[in-house]
Amino acid sequence: MIAEKLAHLRGLPYGRVDVRTTEYPGQLVIEIRDQDPSVDGPVTHPALDPASPYKDWFPARRSIRQPIPVGVIPETGEPMQVVLFDDEGGKAVGVYSMTGGGKTNMLDDIREWVTACDDAILVQLNGAGSGDERTWEPLAAVTAAGLQADDPGLRQRIVGALQWARHLIGERAETAANTGESVFQPTRQDPAVVVMIDEVDETGNIEGATKLLEFLASKQRKAAVCLILAGQRATVAWTGGSGVRVNLSTVVYGLLARDSEARHAVGAENELPDISEYSRGEAGYFGIYSVRQKRLTQRGRTFYIGKLADQREIVARRDPGDRPVLESAGETTKAAPAAPREQPGNALRDRLAHVGELNEGRPLPAATPLGALPVVPGVPPEVMTVLYLLLASGRTSATAVGLRLGVSKTTAHGYLAAMRDYGFAEVAGGGRSSGWQLTARPEVPEQMREPLRQYATASQYTTLEDLAQAVHDGLVETDDETRDVLEEVRRIAGRKRLSLVPDSPGNGE
């Protein structure tokens, strides 16, 4: 109301006045934009424009520790920045915008920066097609892109890359503990890993990928693994699932198809300001929302990095052999001089080709029908993420499991027994050499498959009101038509009820 009245008094269009509160009771901050930032046209990326006034923001040698300038804030001329790594570790970032809104351009701005860092490598995954990934492939450590629905090999490679990242997180957690650092510190010899997944909904359709994404989003911070998940919508499915969304540290969003999606991107208790009021409907404008601070921290116009041909020229000017190379999880070395255009990260690609051999030559068990991490009644998901890696690394005892999880030996034995009952763990060896480990090919016993499926499914909603609220909160994904109907159900259910009280006997009125 205040913003609308001020805009009317100043003769400004709606959307040019913003009002926000502060931590002090009764205090308001009023921002007025006298000039429309959408009339200046695209801002060419300094990599394409040598005369750009923003070229000093892009030194030849860069670090993942520096915020990435992805655009300009028109009102101030300051950089609009995305942070992927800071003192607290790697970030999990969601990037969302409808078709034609500039999402791919935003990702290319990030690719340009990461592939120039001395202490980071790029892993590109896309199960819905390929295009820009192929352009940046010469400078990326790993690229797996294409139509996963038609390519079993691609699905295996994408899951393999996610499994490798999960294993890397486990090993780096040990390294950080040994060095006394709470966060793994990336170097050229042991770089940060930026896992960029475009069209994340397609990756989520791959068997076993969702659980891996949830693990990465919840555990990547201290291991110098940065996660970027991108999609055309901000609904639960397009954010990688509710288990992923809850662990996002930053949301970068542009034009969205539906107003309600702004709520789904960060959870029902928050709502992102509509960027279309700021951009006047033009593509290339993004807002950067801090999930922790629960507020919009920046918004502006992204750098336009050109067409694919322009991006290929940027790639061609760089020496791929000068990129840092991560040899394997826990084993790194400096890249040797390479011939021009030679693909970096060959050792990493070799490891991913044999992703099942990461654990000292012992193959990891095949993925279960319910995902790479099994769902077992009685074993919480956060326990399973640690327990599964412990069992996969070799024989262990209930005492060792208890110490690692911070629980008693009896509780740890209960977890292991549940894993055994559902066919995911076994006791191998004899005497002092005996211990718990994953089964060679874990299979759920026939008599327990149906109860397990029931345990893994989402809870049922007994009333339309409950279902409508769940869809509104982003807990259940549905089509647009059904969502509109359920929103109406929710609106009706929220109306105040009128109670009719009959007259008392003997009332003379």
Centroid of chain to Cα 7: 37
pLDDT digits (tens, 9 = 90+) for 288-330: 988 888 888 898 999 999 999 999 999 999 988 888 877 544 3
| CA pair distance 229, 202, nearest whole angstrom | 11
- The 3 state secondary structure assigned to 277-314 is HHHCCCCCEEEEEECCCCEEEEEEEEEECCCHHHHHHH
User: How many CB atoms lie under 10 A from the CB of residue 24?
Assistant: 7
pLDDT for res 445? 56
- The 3 state secondary structure assigned to 181-200 is CCCCCCCCCCCEEEEEEECH
Q: To which residue do tokens 């030679």 refer?
A: 342
Residue 473 has pLDDT above 80, yes or no: no
**Could you tell me the domains of the chain?**
2-34 (no CATH), 38-322 (3.40.50.300), 381-447 (1.10.10.10), 464-493 (no CATH)
Q: Give φ, ψ of 441 to 5 degrees.
A: -135, 85
| More confident position, 263 or 439 | 439
CA proximity to 69, closest of 104, 110, 37: 110
pLDDT for res 433? 67
**Mean pLDDT rounded to a whole number for the chain:** 76
pLDDT for res 261? 66
| CA pair distance 406, 70, nearest whole angstrom | 42
pLDDT for res 366? 38
DSSP letters of 324-378? ----BTTB--PPPP--TTPPS-HHHHHHHHTGGGTBTTBPPPPPBTTBSSPP-TT
pLDDT digits (tens, 9 = 90+) for 342-391: 333 344 444 444 443 333 333 333 333 334 567 787 788 778 877 887 78
Q: Are 334 and 189 in contact (CB under 8 A)?
A: yes
Q: Give φ, ψ of 358 to 5 degrees.
A: -70, -35
User: How many CB atoms lie under 10 A from the CB of residue 23?
Assistant: 5
pLDDT for res 334? 36
Lowest-confidence region among 1-15, 136-150, 356-370: 356-370
Q: Are 398 and 432 in contact (CB under 8 A)?
A: no
pLDDT for res 37? 52
Q: Are 405 and 391 in contact (CB under 8 A)?
A: no
Q: Are 111 and 136 in contact (CB under 8 A)?
A: yes
Lowest-confidence region among 188-202, 250-264, 390-404, 463-477: 463-477
| CA pair distance 225, 64, nearest whole angstrom | 11
pLDDT digits (tens, 9 = 90+) for 52-87: 999 999 998 899 999 999 999 887 888 999 999 999
According to DSSP, the β-strands at 192-198 and 285-290 are unpaired
Q: To which residue do tokens 């509509």 refer?
A: 274
Q: Which of 38-42, 89-93, 447-451 has the highest mean pLDDT?
A: 89-93
**What burial letters (b/e) apply to 270-295, b meaning 16+ CB within 10 Å?**
eebbebbebbeebbbbbbbbebeeee
User: How many CB atoms lie under 10 A from the CB of residue 206?
Assistant: 20
**What burial letters (b/e) apply to 124-147, b meaning 16+ CB within 10 Å?**
bbbbbebebbbbbbbbbbbbbbbe
| CA pair distance 353, 357, nearest whole angstrom | 9
